[in-house]
Amino acid sequence: MKQTRQMLILLMETKRAIHLDPDGAAAHLSQAIALLTADSQSEPSQRKITGGLAPWQVARVDDFIDQHLDQCIRTTELAWLLSLSPSHFSRLFKQTMGMTPLMYVAARRVKAAGQYMLCSSSSLSEIALSHGFCDQSHFCRVFRRETGLSPQTWRKLHCVTPGRRRATGKLDSIQQYSVEVDHC
């Protein structure tokens, strides 16, 4: 279900960007192909996951991450929140979320930074520091890994001008999260 939604978002963004930004559209198509490739190579038995973290545990971790996005967040801190050992927490987290805790934190930071870019004309270095990245280069690397686009290209696609937003601003390709621009 998550992959279907993610695929739909990618294809809609591709359709919208194909005439305005062919490079952006190509990046969206590459992500869609990667999604389909990963899905087709996994065994059906691997897709049915049981166990993992309880919803209240995921909510507690999410709250902690949201409150500390601008700080260094370690797996040991997240494990401590749930009174689990770091290795057990990491295994359960990956089973539940499909990615490591640190990859999840990076995705949440990118999501928050993207939402902020829709509302702000701040420089990329200011955005990077305020969202827990050590510098602009690190932010750009992680942002490109998560979205397939550089922050500047993503901002151009989603904002009419810096400080203003498009009515359909969604942070694409960040798994199950959609960013509503009403928070601006």
Contacts of 169 (CB under 8 A, 6+ apart): 118, 158, 159, 179, 181
At 132, which amino acid appears?
A: G
Under a CB-based contact definition with an 8 Å cutoff, are residues 105 and 90 in contact? no
pTM of the model: 0.61
Q: What are φ and ψ of residue 164, in 5° steps? A: -120, 165
The CATH classification number of 2-47+103-183 equals 1.10.10
Of all residues in the chain, the percent with pLDDT exceeding 70 is 75
Token pair for 176: 């199950």
> Phi-psi region for residue 162, left (φ > 0), alpha (ψ -120 to 50) or beta?
beta
pLDDT digits (tens, 9 = 90+) for 7-54: 767 677 777 777 777 777 777 677 777 777 766 555 554 545 568 999
